[in-house]
């Protein structure tokens, strides 16, 4: 599935694709940067936030896979994913742990303080190699898991060069 094709899907079709997605080993994504495309959000929200982003996945010495988000220049889906820079470094935010939960793989933002700590993103593979992933954001408030309209597509891009730089 390409970002262009995914952007044409309805909320119902995105939910179906997420439910039909494949479980994958979190180690398959460790060491890789993925190009991200926001899906399912109204245009006015995308204008306030972003359409393009990236997620980096890194294996810690203890084997745990963790990651972070990278801000990307919002210059159209037909253009290359280029990180927004500040003082010569990519702007990163939203660190998360990649965990195996009862329902599959989840990006757990509860690993650091801040507004994003309540987010949980279930993630599935759309292929056998975990080159294309589909996720959805949920807000976790105590025992309640509240779905948001935010889906996203991730496409394997390039190796993560230096995780300490993020």
Give the per-residue pLDDT at 112: 86
Q: What is the CATH number of the domain that holds 38?
A: 2.40.160
Which residues, other chains included, contact 88 with Cβ-Cβ below 8 Å and sequence gap of 6+? none
Domain boundaries, position 64: 3-165
Measured at the CA of 56, the angle between CA 6 and CA 62, to 5 degrees, comes to: 130
In this prediction, residues 31-37 reach a mean pLDDT of 96
Dist CA 120 CA 96 (whole Å): 9
Q: Does the structure show a pLDDT above 70 at 164?
A: no
Q: Does the structure show a pLDDT above 90 at 155?
A: yes
Give the per-residue pLDDT at 47: 72
Dist CA 161 CA 70 (whole Å): 13
What is the phi-psi region of residue 59: left when phi exceeds 0, alpha when psi lies from -120 to 50, beta otherwise? beta
In this prediction, residues 37-43 reach a mean pLDDT of 81
In this prediction, residues 56-67 reach a mean pLDDT of 96
Tens-digit pLDDT profile for residues 85-130: 999 999 999 999 999 987 789 999 999 888 899 999 999 999 999 9
Dist CA 77 CA 112 (whole Å): 30
The DSSP letter of residue 116 is: G
CB 24 within 8 A of CB 130: yes
How many distinct structural domains can be found in the chain? 1
In this prediction, residues 55-84 reach a mean pLDDT of 94
């Amino acid at each position: 599935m390409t970002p262009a094709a995914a952007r044409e899907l309805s909320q119902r079709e995105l939910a179906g694709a997420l439910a039909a997605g494949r479980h994958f080993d979190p180690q398959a994504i460790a060491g890789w940067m993925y190009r991200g495309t926001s899906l399912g959000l109204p245009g006015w929200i995308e204008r306030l936030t972003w359409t393009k982003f990236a997620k980096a996945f890194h294996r810690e010495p203890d084997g745990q896979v963790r990651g972070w988000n990278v801000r990307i220049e919002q210059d159209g889906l037909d253009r290359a994913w280029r990180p927004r820079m500040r003082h010569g470094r990519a702007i990163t935010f939203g660190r998360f742990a990649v965990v195996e939960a009862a329902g599959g793989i989840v990006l757990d933002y509860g690993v650091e303080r801040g507004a994003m700590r309540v987010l949980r993103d279930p993630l599935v593979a759309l292929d056998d190699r975990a080159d294309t992933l589909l996720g959805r954001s949920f807000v976790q408030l105590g025992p309640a898991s509240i779905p948001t309209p935010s889906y996203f597509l991730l496409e394997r891009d390039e190796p993560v060069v230096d995780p300490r730089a993020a």
